[in-house]
Structure 1
Amino acid sequence: FCERSAARPCGECRACRLLLHDNHPDFRVVQPLDRDGAVDRAGGTLRVEQSAEIIHEAALRPMEGRYKVFFIQDFHTANAGFANKLLKTLEEPPDHVLLILSARDRESILPTIVSRCQVLELRPLTVPEVESALVQGWEASASEAALLARLAKGSLGWAVQQLADREGASRRQEQLAQLHHLVQATRVERLHFVDKMA
């Protein structure tokens, strides 16, 4: 999409700015929805209506770039209707369309879908990689980056979300302080704590 560089996005051109602000007309993120139609990546599903929208939009030419890109997150949540309706488009997408599917593992996706995809297995990042990215890319303090990198279990996205959630950081600090206190507490103090939490 970048207008200045094919290797790495510059972050400054019009296309990069549109992508950064989730406004690029040729890039669409498709996520699982709850029953009311709100995004719900934890418990929602990819539904047949969404695949119909993808098929319709894929038939249209790109507005700004050479390609229309559909990033379908959490494909393992797709219901059978969604997956089956999308089969033909996955098998023979228009020349100007790229479909990117993400899922926890390939076993959770219908074999007919997997057979039409080029599979790339992404491994979790190491703790030092997450830590370095947080310090360099998101200007986290060294101690904050070290803690979040250990808690993230290889997920930079999770670590970045936690970094942005200052209230969550405050709660995490309180919980760590309580845990530290409980480790050193007497049995009676621990029982009082449990009683207070109940």
Structure 2
Amino acid sequence: MNRRTFLQGLSLVSGSSLLPLLTHCADSQAPLDDAGGAVRFAHGVASGDPLQDRVILWTRVTPEIDAPVRVRYRVATDPAMTDVHIDAQVLTDASRDYTVKVDPAGLAPGTTYYYQFVSGGARSAVGRTRTLPSGPVERLRLVSLSCARFNSGFYNVYRAVAGRADLDAVLHLGDYIYENGSAGDLGRAHDPPHELFTLADYRRRYAQYRSDLDLQE
């Protein structure tokens, strides 16, 4: 049983979805900036958990008003986003902290793709991702990261990793965020300043970590 099947099974047992489904819209002809208000993409984009025909894509929008936001996402084979293979829309709102997590299917195995989110006239950075290969491969090159503590270090290594085009995947081995409230020695005090206990605490801490530009890279 893979991780996705396990999480889906748990959601059926508990009666509530651990990975809430978003509302997909098939209207790919709608204007790119047709959304319910101005937003910002202040926390970058991310991808992960690749399969041979799909990969999970993530972002977070920051709206000016507290209302549901329509977000469009596109997947292409070029960084200029001209050879588009997927063009769809989803809704997000405050209940999911205005995050977007989609799992677009129908991709080719062992292929590099580029993706971008658009909403309210704002465009996210263009992300790069890759699907799993099908069958044997001649080589596999991975990089591992761990123990990244915002209030006592910087993320220049992340930027260096992002600059390499010869990596197949990045594995983060743990401590992606830290839960303590210590101030540290670099003038990068944790937000919130206390130890994390509530969902709101964790959302604030994740948002702080994701605000770092090197980490976004």
TM-score normalised by the chain length of structure 2: 0.22
More strand by share: 2
More helix by share: 1
Structure number, greater radius of gyration:
1
By relative contact order (CA 8 Å, sep 6+), the higher-ranking structure is 2
